[in-house]
Amino acid sequence: MNNFTRRTLTAFFFVLVIVGSIVLGQTVFSALLLIITILSLFEFVSIISTDKNKPALWPTVVVGSLVYSLFSANAMGFIPAEGLFLSIPLFFVLFIIELWRNKPTPFTNIAMSILGVIYIALPFGLMMYFFNPEILSGARHYGVVLGFLIILWLNDTGAYLVGSAIGKHKLFKRISPGKSWEGSAGGVLIALLTAYGLSFIFTQLGVIQWMGLSLIVVIFGTLGDLVESMLKRSIGIKDSGNILPGHGGMLDRFDAVLLSAPFVFVYLALFCR
């Protein structure tokens, strides 16, 4: 099987699983995102660990999973907003655990663990609120979270196709020499057209709200891709993992989601109530 076929099959089943879990409902999608959170945290700790700096793997994964679960449970209405306060002491458990690990750089390890939780678990937890465009006061529906991902995917596809065809001016050569301004412009256009179309399918948001959401997704999704590229360059690796044949690791597939989700959450909370 050649690389193109492998990439195509992986992408097909990847999208099928994601979209299927969203359509099946918030609980199913929450369970899938928990699995993705755990795998992403494992991946993150694995790639940043060195002989000198080695974050505690299992404590990081457990704390991150619990933080995600608290936000997810609140988004689904299982626990009140006060329950989110439980996430605060979880971060300090990482400090306590480091006392018994006897490593040469304990505070670097703690910082890396907390970074992993904030970078991965928190954005995935905030995504669960997208089922409710009015955050905690409206009806739950999969339209917004599905639309968010569709815009993200089509922006990425559009940027790649346009950039491959006519891209000449580098967007951020030092970090990602393959990206171009022309490709980014193509991605923006396709994202806006997609948002316009989605406004007629998923009416939880109006056309202006969908267009605004698409711009946030384009800007911060692209920056998320660059941030993950910066992470990989700082470590000297090409892919964050190999769990997805032809597509790298979990962080490679969700890099745009991780940075754009918090901004979309705030946008929905402030402007879509």
Do the beta carbons of residue 62 and residue 23 sit within 8 Å?
no
Q: Which residue has the tokens 């404590």?
A: 59
Q: How does pLDDT run across 71-123, given as a tens digit for each residue? A: 999 999 899 999 999 999 999 999 999 999 989 999 999 999 999 999 999 99
Q: Is a pLDDT exceeding 60 seen at residue 226?
A: yes
Domain regions of the chain by residue span: 26-133, 142-273
Do the beta carbons of residue 150 and residue 198 sit within 8 Å?
yes
Do the beta carbons of residue 147 and residue 160 sit within 8 Å?
no
User: 160 pLDDT band (50/70/90 cuts)?
Assistant: confident
Q: How does pLDDT run across 187-222, given as a tens digit for each residue? A: 999 999 999 999 999 988 899 999 999 999 999 999
**Three-class DSSP labels, the chain:** CCHHHHHHHHHHHHHHHHHHHHHHCHHHHHHHHHHHHHHHHHHHHHHHCCCCCCCCHHHHHHHHHHHHHHHHHHHCCCCCHHHHHHHHHHHHHHHHHHCCCCCCCHHHHHHHHHHHHHHHHHHHHHHHHHHCCCCCCCCCCCHHHHHHHHHHHHHHHHHHHHHHHHCCCEEECCCEEEEEHHHHHHHHHHHHHHHHHHHHHCCCCCHHHHHHHHHHHHHHHHHHHHHHHHHHHHHCCCCCCCCECCCECHHHHHHHHHHHHHHHHHHHHHHCC
C-alpha distance from residue 167 to each of 174, 176, 193, 212, 256 (Å): 16, 13, 21, 26, 21
Q: How does pLDDT run across 4-32, given as a tens digit for each residue? A: 567 778 778 888 999 999 988 899 999 99
User: 240 pLDDT band (50/70/90 cuts)?
Assistant: confident
